[in-house]
Structure 1
Amino acid sequence: MRDGFQDAQDEAPRARLHYPFAEGPQDGQAVDVAPGVKWLRMPLGGSLAFINVWAIEEDGGWAIVDTGMGGSTTRQAWRAAFAGALGEKPVTRVFVTHMHPDHIGMAGWLTRKFQCRLWISRLEFLMCRSLAADTGREAPEDALKFYRAAGWEEEALEDYRARFGGFGKALHALPDSFRRLSDRDLVEIGGRPWEVVVGSGHSPEHVCLWQKDLKLFISGDQVLPKISSNVSVFPTEPDGDPLTEWLTSLAAIKARVSDDVLVLPAHNEPFNGLHARIDHLIGGHERGLARLRELIAEPKRAVDVFPVLFRRKIDHHVLGMATGESLAHLNCLLTRGEAVREADEAGVVWYRAA
């Protein structure tokens, strides 16, 4: 699953966000965002183009936060960074915000190359291991039943069968052990305490890092300035309610993390305006839920609700993400008692307003 699937109402309130850096780092180079903290980029390709990663100077080398997608292109980018901005100093630790391949993909390569430890939350590590184990498997019948219930046609199911098990292909072999990060941990990095702030919804136990003295908040995909992170229901937990988790997490972060931080996101540029951005993300999803309630006055399948949630045309490239996010909104309405569902004789699930 790729990050940053933009929803229909996610036009960032640009006037309320401030971007302090005129331009981002070039290949092999870095931008200093605070004393001892550097901003680097790793290539992704596609619409997102790159992921931001962060290097924090400490005794003996660099603590790295997030790693880029697995593969030779990212490996070459890291080698250029070590030869350039990082001055040939070794990696002391690798921190990963969450288990998506653009964040954890090179963790195994970095930890083995420098004989250092991966630091990550337990659920993210275990979920990543679980998904990587699907590599090479045939698509399970439970998953095909899940997408048939959402309204997929046979052509889409065949495409899913062909692509299933690709998660592990975007990863360098994972480390066999890790150091656990838990919410509210204080971890010394570069001689300063960084507080672990955990969110969920986009992924199960997403780690953010907050340094109060430097007023920095490494947000991963939990808060992005210009796009909304994908929040999806998956076949492994068809009755899950990740959107409620997402909205609850965002509200908790706003209540806990001060608004004067410089947010260091995984995508787009560092920005000021954390609380305004959180308000807009929550408000956008609530507006989407309101439109969805109106639409399902007459019964609808998950694939029928795309127009009220997404601006873009949904093609086969994003059908899985769109279906997962639509089901996240529908399951949220079910949790709130604002919708009901029933399956027809073919196993297709129809949703209507309660």
Structure 2
Amino acid sequence: MQRTQRLPTSEEAAKSQHHADAAPTTVEAVRAIDAIAPATGTAGQVAEGVWWIRLPVAAGPGHVNVYALQDRDGIVLVDTGTNAPQTLQALTEALRFLKSSCGTVRRVVMTHHHPDHIGLAGWFAEQGAEIVATRGTLAVARRMLHDKTLLRTPEEIDFAVLSGMKDLELAAFIRRPKRRYADAVAMLPNATSVIADGETLQIGRRCWRAIVGNGHAVDHLTLCSNDGLVISGDQILPGMSTNLNVPADHPNLDPIAAWRYTCRRIGERIDDRSICLPGHHTPFTGIAIRSRQMIASQEAVASRLLEHLQRPRTAIDCLAAIYRRTLSLAERTLLFPEAVGYMNHLATRGEVVGLPRGKTIVWQKQRRPRGDAIRRDASQTISRLYNFSSEVDETR
């Protein structure tokens, strides 16, 4: 790999965050490529030397996409699915079809640390495959793999209280065991290869440039080829929104601004004829259009929230306004970190202020400065996002 790294300055990030994205002004279409999703246990070719494999997962859309790339000495697999028997069976069956012409898996490249993308990487490492990921992905995954407790941490409880959780809902949150990361992700080897922003991977005849960003996950990796292919992981998705949560241990982060900044950087590398190979749903063309559609949806949520915040409310009080329906207690537990992300983003833009009320923050639409108001600084917030991977790495 060539070591040609480019990281954003805080000035670039702040400028990017404050620059409003134009919503689509004409009828713009995102078009699925002419391909039918491959059946479980099979691989469908989407370009020369590139195969699409769809694997079952228990949550979300019920599937995850992984991609097999033909290299000179075997297969490079991008993402793996969860560490579950049915996933491993489906993936090994699909790879068996490619073995005679392409060989075995020599390298596994991971887009980010979420279980449906990284779960079987450790299993492939045991078979002799090299593991390649960003520094932040490896650091977060290793930290979470070593956390074997089922109990909520003090940080998680404090974050829930900060967000407005209280009484019986808080008691249920504390009492309910959380899912252990290690139950869905195989242990990673100590020896791994790190890919950084701006570096390249030569795979077969293609050269893939790494764009490392944040928002959905720490140091999320997107790969852009020199002939119009983009493996986007969960950065840009058709048919669903990218989840943009605030982590409990960094409650002030603005994942929406970080996600938008990364989308702009991807847009600099591609045009709308490029084929996007996403982590879920169907490969498509029109990546920039899809990014604008997702931003327009975020802005619609922001407008609803500003109307909702005419009087002070907690982030959890805003869930119904964000999702336009009443959520179950289980859904509220999963989704309140995304509500905090919207609060932080609107605060960064100076449109809302956070008012401390004991250990909780209530948010209100900005009218005039208040001495006790909490207002985010754009450059500091984004700078922390881009430095998060090194912070995590130091905790190992």
Same fold (TM over 0.5): yes
Query: Do structure 1's residue 290 and structure 2's residue 293 form an aligned pair?
Result: no
Residues of 2 paired with 1:189 and 1:164: CA distance? 39
Equivalent residue for 2:354? 341
Equivalent residue for 1:300? 313
**Secondary structure, aligned partner of 2:32:** coil
Residues of 2 paired with 1:216 and 1:329: CA distance? 31
**Contact 1:314–1:322 at 8 Å: present in 2 too?**
no
Question: What does 1:74-93 correspond to in 2, within 5 Å?
Answer: 74-87=87-100, 89-93=103-107
Match of 2:126 among 85, 97, 112: 112
**Contact 1:297–1:353 at 8 Å: present in 2 too?**
yes
Change (3 A) 1:40 1:205: same
**Contact 2:108–2:124 at 8 Å: present in 1 too?**
yes
Identity of aligned residues (%): 30
**Secondary structure, aligned partner of 1:135:** coil
Equivalent residue for 2:157? 144
* 2:350 maps to amino acid: G
**Could you tell me how far 1:46 is from its partner in structure 2?**
3.6
- Taking only aligned residues, the RMSD between alpha carbons, in angstroms, comes to 2.0
The answer for unaligned runs of 5 or more in structure 2 is: 1-25, 367-396
Residues of 1 paired with 2:313 and 2:136: CA distance? 34
**Secondary structure, aligned partner of 1:264:** strand
Change (3 A) 1:140 1:253: same
Question: What does 1:28-67 correspond to in 2, within 5 Å?
Answer: 28-67=41-80
**Contact 1:29–1:81 at 8 Å: present in 2 too?**
yes
**Secondary structure, aligned partner of 2:263:** helix
**Secondary structure, aligned partner of 1:208:** strand
Residues of 2 paired with 1:190 and 1:238: CA distance? 42
* 1:351 maps to amino acid: W
Change (3 A) 1:38 1:293: same
**Could you tell me how far 1:307 is from its partner in structure 2?**
2.4
Match of 1:279 among 276, 292, 299: 292
**Could you tell me how far 1:312 is from its partner in structure 2?**
4.8
**Could you tell me how far 1:76 is from its partner in structure 2?**
1.3
Equivalent residue for 1:256? 269
**Could you tell me how far 1:306 is from its partner in structure 2?**
1.4
Shifted more, 44-53 versus 162-171: the winner is 162-171
Equivalent residue for 2:214? 200
What count of residue pairs does the alignment treat as equivalent?
A: 339
Tell me the TM-score normalized by structure 1: 0.90
The answer for unaligned runs of 5 or more in structure 1 is: 1-12
Match of 1:181 among 179, 186, 195: 195
Equivalent residue for 1:3? none
Equivalent residue for 1:166? 180
Cα deviation 1:278-306 (Å, max 9, x = unaligned): 11111211222222122111001111111
**Could you tell me how far 1:20 is from its partner in structure 2?**
1.9
Tell me the TM-score normalized by structure 2: 0.81
**Contact 1:187–1:194 at 8 Å: present in 2 too?**
yes
* 1:129 maps to amino acid: R
Cα deviation 1:82-106 (Å, max 9, x = unaligned): 3334448311100000000000000
